[in-house]
Every structure is written in structure tokens, then in C-alpha cells.
Amino acid sequence: MSRVVLVTGAGHGIGAAIARAFGERGDDVVVTDLDGEAANAVTGQLRDAGHSATAHVLDVAADDSWAALSAELRGAGRAPAVIVNNAFMNVVAPAHELDPAAWHAILDVTLGGVYRSVRTFHDSLTAARGAVVNVASMHALFAWPGHPAYAAAKGGVVALTRQLSLEYAPHVRVNAVLPGSIMTRVWDSVDDADRAAAMRQATLGRFGRPEEVASVVVFLAGDDASFVTGIVMPVDGGLSTTVAT
Ligand SMILES: NC(=O)c1ccc[n+]([C@@H]2O[C@H](COP(=O)([O-])OP(=O)(O)OC[C@H]3O[C@@H](n4cnc5c(N)ncnc54)[C@H](O)[C@@H]3O)[C@@H](O)[C@H]2O)c1
């Protein structure tokens, strides 16, 4: 059965792979991103492959941006049954060097976006007996240098996932994935030594691909996971089950 699936931060990386995966299974994908050109490009690829998708500029940290998207989708009879909260922001710095504005922005995008998604579309998720999947991170569980606001936000996403799964049960299932090291542009600025360390830390000895996160997100959003809610599922190549060396 085709559903309307809204993906945030879907213009690049993991979000783009998630949008493609839902499109390939026949869903109607609402491709959203702060970067409208990137959202257009992903939507174009989906349409060229014969899938159903539209592109929208959405800043997940802005209430008026959610309101505008809500009006547009409801006007078209396309309020979402599934939402994947994937957008994030990060600035790498120890806490005492992190600008207060950056601290607030990281929290507001990475954690606040999840709150705004259900605030905006709680009714359509409920009516559809839908699902929310939040893309958290291993940073919710483990500390790496320089990520104070990001780690706090991702830890918050995990706690909020559990909270929402209780509040919106039994109609809406809410789960999260915890990606390990996934090869996207966020690794472009990381040096070879740190990349090698990331690979060593995973049992499988390599980076994950965005598609390997997307397939788990599609599973958690679908009927095959109909008795699964409130969980946080690592997609980390074994990172969380070994002692890093
Ligand atoms: N790549 C990894 O190794 C890794 C590891 C763990 C978790 N994650 C998580 O996976 C998700 C995707 O990361 P990625 O590696 O694909 O990054 P990416 O930079 O490739 O994609 C992130 C997307 O979010 C968009 N975005 C940024 N701010 C936004 C805003 N305010 N509103 C809407 N969209 C916004 C960007 O334009 C971009 O398209 C994030 O939640 C990230 O924390 C990634």
C-alpha cells in the first residue's frame, strides 16, 4: 500500500537514500530539505525512475516553515502517514569553545525538528495508523571529542523517541536508528587517521553506506515492524558491541 512519506534533510546523504528507498517501494515521497536545489535533484531522480515525489524547502528549526509545508500538503491531500526525521546540524568544538548561538541552533535543528514534526502532523500520523522513524546517532550513547551539543541533541532524540512512542500508542509507532560511521559528505573534512579509526572501531571493518541505513528505516516504518515501537536500533557495523582499539 502506498503511503505519503515525509523525509527531512533528504537532499543529501542518508536522507536522500531514505527518500529513494521509500520511492522504490512505491510510496509517495515528500522530499524536504533546507537546501531546495538538493531536494529538487533527489526528487528529479525519483521521478525519472517512475516514482512519486515532490520537493519542498523545509527548515526543521522554523515553525513557519513547518506551517507552510503543512498547508501545502493538506491542500493537496498529502498529509504524511510516515515521517523520517533525519535533518541535523553540528559544529565541532569543545563545550567551552562552542558559541551559545551554535549550541541553540544544533539543539533546535537536531532535536527540535523531531518535536515540530509531530506537533505539525500528529493528526495525519494518527489517522493513517502511521509511523515516525528518527535518525539519531551512536553519539547518543558514546562520547567522541568535540560534539557536546550534537551528542546532547541525539541523546534527546533517543529519549524523545521513547516518550512519543508511549504518548502516541497504539496508533503511531515511533522508533529510532543509531547509525555508526556512514560514508556521506560529513566525512569529507575528516583526515585519513580518523577515518581509519572509524573503520577499526566497527566489527565489520568498514564504513556503512547510506542505503544500509535506509533499508532499516523502511523496515521500521512498515508493517513488517508492526509490533515494534519505542526502540533504538543500531545500524553501526558492530561499533557498539566491541571495545574500540
Ligand atoms: N554520516 C554519518 O556517519 C552519520 C552517523 C550517525 C548519524 N548520522 C545522522 O544521519 C543523518 C544524516 O546525516 P548525513 O551524514 O546524511 O548528512 P548530510 O550532510 O549528507 O545530510 C544532512 C541534510 O540535512 C540538511 N539540513 C541541514 N540543516 C537543516 C535544517 N535546518 N532543516 C532541514 N534540513 C537541514 C542538509 O541540507 C542535508 O541535506 C543526520 O541526522 C546525522 O546526524 C550520520
Exactly one of 22, 66, 150, 168 is catalytic; name it: 150
212 lines ligand 1 (CB under 6 A): no
The model's confidence at residue 245, banded by pLDDT at 50, 70 and 90, is low
What is the mean pLDDT of the segment spanning 148-174? 98
The model's confidence at residue 65, banded by pLDDT at 50, 70 and 90, is very high
201 lines ligand 1 (CB under 6 A): no
**pLDDT tens figures, 206-224:** 999 999 999 999 999 999 9
CATH number of 4-181+213-237: 3.40.50.720
The model's confidence at residue 48, banded by pLDDT at 50, 70 and 90, is very high
The pTM of this model reads 0.98
4 lines ligand 1 (CB under 6 A): no
Percent of the chain at pLDDT exceeding 70: 99
Residue spans of beta strands (DSSP E) within the chain: 4-7, 28-33, 52-57, 82-85, 131-135, 173-179, 232-235
**Cα separations in angstroms, 151 against 61, 144, 148:** 18, 9, 5
Distance from Cα 90 to the centre of ligand 1, integer Å: 9
CA 224 to CA 228: how far, in whole Å?
Answer: 9
Which pLDDT score is estimated for 201? 93
Which pLDDT score is estimated for 1? 85
Omega of the bond leading into 179 within 30 degrees of 0 (cis): no
Residue written as grid cell 541505513: 213
8 lines ligand 1 (CB under 6 A): yes
Which pLDDT score is estimated for 242? 86
Residue written as grid cell 520537493: 55
Percent of the chain at pLDDT exceeding 90: 98
Distance from Cα 13 to the centre of ligand 1, integer Å: 7
Q: Assess whether 150 carries a catalytic annotation.
A: yes
Could you tell which of 154, 186, 239 is best to mutate to test the pocket of ligand 1, judged by most ligand atoms within 8 Å of the CB? 186
38 lines ligand 1 (CB under 6 A): yes
In the predicted model, what is the mean pLDDT of the chain?
Answer: 97
